[in-house]
Amino acid sequence: MTSRDSSSPAYDVDPQVARAPKVLLHEHLDGGLRPATVLELARETGYDALPADDATDLGRWFRESADSGSLVRYLETFAHTVGVMQTPDALRRVAREEVLDLARDGVAYAEIRYAPELHLERDLTLEEVVEAVNEGFREGEALAREEGRRIRVTALLTAMRHAAMSREIAELAVRYREQEVSGFDIAGAEAGYPPTRHLDAFQYLARENAHFTIHAGEAFGLPSIQEALTWCGADRLGHGVRIVDDLTVDGIAYPQWAAEHDQLPDVRDVRLGLLAAYVRDKRVPLEMCPSSNVQTGASASIALHPITLLKDLRFRVTVNTDNRLMSDTSMGKEMTLLVRDAGWTMTDLRWVTINAMKSAFIAFDQRLALIDEVIKPGYAELT
Ligand SMILES: O=c1[nH]cnc2c1ncn2[C@H]1C[C@H](O)[C@@H](CO)O1
Ligand SMILES: [Zn+2]
């Protein structure tokens, strides 16, 4: 059984983790709605296909449906969030609330991604979608400031890997680069849709000196990671968890070793293949999302999630939520789980937070300022 035990008791965010400044590089706008907002927007916009009519039941439905052990089935749940995000007001509200929720979770900097092409059912233009979301992000930042919380959010524009709009979306991202759109991504079902399908978009972005990340090494293994990095030139990997397929433990391929052991290996027994060594040597940021991976079957549990091994091997690991609604999670919860189930310390959390800030798509001086003025002092205050 690879899916998460959905009957496990609710747990609280560790109080010290709650106070720590956080950086989030991998969160989907359409995966982070409040259940009550999904219900209200459905009512307002006439969307009548929701599977529950009460916020608690709906939240549970999303989490349990996403607990399928399959990325493809996990992605089916997005029909209901995307379904209610088809008007400027709805997009603005969702964006505003997400920023506020992240700020309350202690997030100081976030890159939130979404696929503009999924929000055209009611004749919005791609530009109208981006502008509505941007307005919501700015409103969310202002509301957070009123609560005494400082957060900055930039957008990543995603193209769906099964579709054929990546070049257009890449151009859109470049057009809005001065308006807090910091990069580009491809997402959706991975198997059967290799990153090189979108080479034209990536080569365009490279010519424009623009940044992009690619969902790779989540539901499909090393060839996807190899293509994303060496053919497409991705700055970061979305998930990248399957890079462990290129490790050996005592001469045994890691997946086989892991199937036979109920623990993580000693790092001294681990050897890196050429691709894994390349990822570590080049400091390629891995946008890892532990709970999401347990739900889609990429990892058996948080305790056995490769993020801990990769951290101990000093890969450039970052911790992310992916989809707070589908995983019933937050940055505080992901970090608490790593402390509780995988033995992480506050020093580890500080390290991955600085890793994430270094790997963000905003300008170097701005990243440095957040590290020196927010993250380091924030962690110093915890002790
Ligand atoms: O973890 C994921 N892997 C691949 N695609 C994903 C994941 N989470 C969300 N998506 C898809 C579904 C959304 O509708 C889309 C844009 O945010 O991205
Ligand atoms: Zn994702």
Q: What is the mean pLDDT of residues 367-381?
A: 98
Torsion of CA 188, 189, 193, 197, to 10 degrees: 0
Q: Is 218 a catalytic residue?
A: yes
The confidence score (pLDDT) of residue 98 equals 98
- Count of all residues that appear for the chain in the document: 383
- Whether 175 shows a pLDDT value over 60: the answer reads yes
pLDDT band at residue 278 using 50, 70 and 90 as cut-offs: very high
The confidence score (pLDDT) of residue 10 equals 67
* Strand pairing category for 213-216 and 236-239: parallel
Which residue shows structure tokens 């009611």? Answer: 122
CA of 323 to the centre of ligand 1 (A): 8
- CA distance from start to end of the chain: 40
Q: What is the mean pLDDT of residues 42-64?
A: 96
> Which range has the worst mean pLDDT, 24-33, 136-145, 184-193, 302-311?
184-193
Cα–Cα–Cα angle for 20, 59, 286, nearest 5°?
A: 45
CA of 147 to the centre of ligand 1 (A): 30
Q: Quick one: which H or E segment has residue 92?
A: helix 88-104
CA–CA separation, 126 vs 161, rounded Å? 17
- Whether 263 shows a pLDDT value over 70: the answer reads yes
Closest ligand 1 atom to 187 CA: 5
Dump the DSSP string for 327-367. HT--HHHHHHHHHHHH---HHHHHHHHHHHHHT-SS-HHHH
Binding-site residue set: 26, 28, 30, 188, 215, 322
For the chain, the domains span 15-372
Query: 107: helix, coil or strand?
Result: strand
Find the catalytic residue in 27, 171, 180, 218: 218
> Which range has the worst mean pLDDT, 3-17, 53-67, 217-231, 362-376?
3-17
pLDDT in tens, 124-166: 999 999 999 999 999 999 999 999 999 999 999 999 999 999 9
CA of 188 to the centre of ligand 1 (A): 5
Ion ligand 2, residues whose Cβ is below 5 A away: 322
pLDDT band at residue 72 using 50, 70 and 90 as cut-offs: confident
Ligand 1 binding pocket mutation candidate from 213, 215, 237 (most atoms within 8 A of CB):
215
Q: Which token pair is 242? A: 């399957």
- Whether 214 shows a pLDDT value over 80: the answer reads yes
The confidence score (pLDDT) of residue 70 equals 87
Binding-site residue set for substrate: 28, 30, 188
- Whether 113 shows a pLDDT value over 90: the answer reads yes
Closest ligand 1 atom to 75 CA: 12
Ligand in closest contact with the CA of 119 = 1
The confidence score (pLDDT) of residue 71 equals 87
Q: What average pLDDT does the chain have?
A: 95
pLDDT in tens, 280-297: 999 999 999 999 999 998
Q: What is the mean pLDDT of residues 320-335?
A: 98
pLDDT band at residue 4 using 50, 70 and 90 as cut-offs: very low
CA of 17 to the centre of ligand 1 (A): 27
User: pTM for the full model?
Assistant: 0.96
CATH superfamily of 15-372: Metal-dependent hydrolases (3.20.20.140)
Q: What is the mean pLDDT of residues 336-340?
A: 98
Q: Provide ipTM, 2 decimals.
A: 0.99
pLDDT in tens, 342-363: 999 999 999 999 999 999 999 9
Using an 8 Å Cβ cutoff, are 319 and 25 in contact?
no
Cross-sheet strand order for the sheet of 152-160: 22-28, 107-114, 152-160, 181-187
The confidence score (pLDDT) of residue 220 equals 85
The confidence score (pLDDT) of residue 120 equals 98
- Whether 194 shows a pLDDT value over 90: the answer reads yes
Q: Which token pair is 40? A: 């209200």
The confidence score (pLDDT) of residue 150 equals 98
The confidence score (pLDDT) of residue 68 equals 84
pLDDT band at residue 190 using 50, 70 and 90 as cut-offs: confident
